[in-house]
Amino acid sequence: MAYAIKRTCKNGKTRYVGMYKSKDGKYKSAGTYDTPERAVEVAAKQERHLPSLLQETAPASKATMTIHRFCTERFLPLHNIGAATRQGYAYTAKNHILPYIGHLRISEAERETFYNLLVKVLPSQEVSRGVIVATRKVLSAMCQMALDEGYRKDNPLRTIRLPQAPTKRILVADHDQWRRLEEALAHPPARLFARLNVTSWARRCEMISLRPCDFEFDKQVLNITRSTVYVTAKYHPSGRSGWLTKPHPKNGDWRRFAISKQMCVSLQDHIEEHSIGPEDLLFPHWMFAYQKDHAAAETEEEELPPLVSKSGLIYQHGTKAARYGMKCTCTKCRAFAADYQREWRRKRAEEYKANGQLLKTDVWRRDGTEFLGTDVWNRFWHKARTAAGLPEGFTPYNARHTGISWAIDKGVDLQKVRQRAGHGSLSITSRYAAILNEQDTTLAETLEEIFNNFGH
């Protein structure tokens, strides 16, 4: 019988541990949750889940089970994958598999059916090549699970080969372009984030997970040991949408490599300036909070005449009475209102925290973490990219491409580059060498010399 245990955290917040009875008769924890109802729900589900793994499906049920039922009842809930991957698989199945072949029986679907879906149907719906490859991956995993559990006698996806997707151009910045990009990042934490990104080649999910404890400053070493993704409530282990930190990088293997002395000094100054603890996030969301520079606003309309009310009272621009009493929307008054509201929200947050209450933003975010969101970083990046004159396709991920290309250009061994970047194989790393070959003018100049000799 599942039940919940009430416990009080160090911060005074009450949480509930769901307990379930395992097959050996002992009670075990199913996790800690915010409400007793959620704790009991998960514990009861776990209690029912264990016996179901040992029960065999009747042959008749196996023979009549449709792809839709197998996907939703067996594959997605029981396949051994991470929460973020499960979420991606579910999206692909919902949009590109189940609407077309979900009504067919998993035991009777032929190779031709899967082939026609991937090669004829999806392309006719203008589905991109990358999505088709992802669909094949999900179908292959589903059929393999059906084969392992006795629903099918083969996995036909193994023999289906799709045309290779065209390789997209990888954009990289030269040294001068990157210098202009950093100069445009006026916010110091944003500039440091970009510099660490281009020198460490960490992926975004790894960058936002970094903490001071990941660095060994005396040895000038960085350890990439975790990654963080955002998962919806349906697939998050807690039952609530929020950030999920995995105890390994994206490719699965921990990475450990050296960073420059200058970078170590910059990071240590950053940690000291913002009073960041060893286990705190190095680049939290709040550090990139939007603050408009009102210096120009203070001088832009300084010559505006004061406001005069109907009763004859005079109000200067940039004051509470001018903005809220006289409804003035000049630059100075709007700047005052923004600062006033920001200070009011800060004080209210302190009051709520002292009383153990949650803010509306806490409820909306669904989690107490402060991971840097994509939209926030993109706001800084897009503004700097435009100022630096870089093309629109130069995304934050291209910082990783840029750093790797620079290293190969300097003659760094490809195996060392592969290890630092976390690539699965050297074939991926060698793609960056091809980028540099595109910019090599040696061949073009040699051909030009041939034509120049025609005149002699």
21 in Cβ contact with 27 (< 8 Å): yes
CATH code that applies to domain 175-284+370-437: 1.10.443.10
pLDDT of amino acid 9: 78
- Strands 27-33 and 314-315, sheet pairing: unpaired
pLDDT of amino acid 452: 74
DSSP-derived 3-state class of residue 420: helix
Q: What is the pTM of this model?
A: 0.71
Render pLDDT for 137-164 as a digit per residue (tens, 0 to 9): 999 999 999 999 999 999 999 999 987 7
Q: What is the mean pLDDT of each run of 10 residues along the chain (456 residues)?
A: 84 84 83 84 79 68 90 93 92 96 93 95 92 95 94 93 76 91 93 95 94 95 93 85 87 90 95 90 83 51 79 89 89 88 84 75 52 90 92 92 90 90 85 66 67 65
Q: Does the fold of domain 175-284+370-437 match that of domain 66-159?
A: no
Specify whether domain 66-159 bears CATH 1.10.3470.
Answer: no
What is the distance between the alpha carbons of residues 40 and 21, in angstroms, rounded to a whole number?
Answer: 12
Name the nearest CA neighbour of 240 among 37, 44, 77, 53: 37
Q: Which two tokens stand for residue 407?
A: 């290293």
Backbone dihedral angles phi then psi of residue 404, each to the nearest 5 degrees: -65, -45
Render pLDDT for 326-370 as a digit per residue (tens, 0 to 9): 989 888 888 889 888 888 888 888 888 788 776 655 544 444 458
Looking up tokens 């005396």 gives 218
| Helix runs in 125-214, H state only | 129-148, 175-184, 188-200, 204-207
pLDDT of amino acid 346: 81
**Tally of CB atoms within 10 A around 61:** 11
**Strands in 232-300 per DSSP E:** 242-246, 255-258
140 in Cβ contact with 155 (< 8 Å): yes
Q: State the amino acid at position 83 in one-letter form.
A: A
Name the nearest CA neighbour of 78 among 164, 25, 149, 5: 149
DSSP-derived 3-state class of residue 202: coil
What torsion, rounded to 10 degrees, do the Cα atoms 415, 421, 427, 430 define? -80
What is the distance between the alpha carbons of residues 403 and 260, in angstroms, rounded to a whole number?
Answer: 14
How wide is the angle at C-alpha 383 spanned by C-alphas 378 and 385, nearest 5°? Answer: 90
Q: State the amino acid at position 148 in one-letter form.
A: D
pLDDT of amino acid 368: 44
For the stretch 363-367, contacts whose Cβ atoms lie closer than 8 Å and that sit 24 or more positions apart, written own/partner, are: 365/242, 366/233, 366/240, 366/241, 366/242, 367/240, 367/242, 367/243
27-33 β-sheet, strand order: 3-8, 14-21, 27-33
Query: What residue ranges do the domains of the chain occupy?
Result: 3-55, 66-159, 175-284+370-437, 306-369
**398, containing H or E segment:** helix 398-409
CA distances from 268 to 190, 289, 307 (A): 15, 21, 49
SS3 assignment for 228-273: EEEECCCCCCCCCCEEEEECCCCCCCCEEEECCHHHHHHHHHHHHH
CA distances from 236 to 18, 28, 203, 356, 392 (A): 16, 20, 22, 25, 33
294 in Cβ contact with 339 (< 8 Å): yes
DSSP 214: G
What is the distance between the alpha carbons of residues 96 and 330, in angstroms, rounded to a whole number?
Answer: 52
**Tally of CB atoms within 10 A around 270:** 19
Length of the chain: 456
Q: State the amino acid at position 416 in one-letter form.
A: K
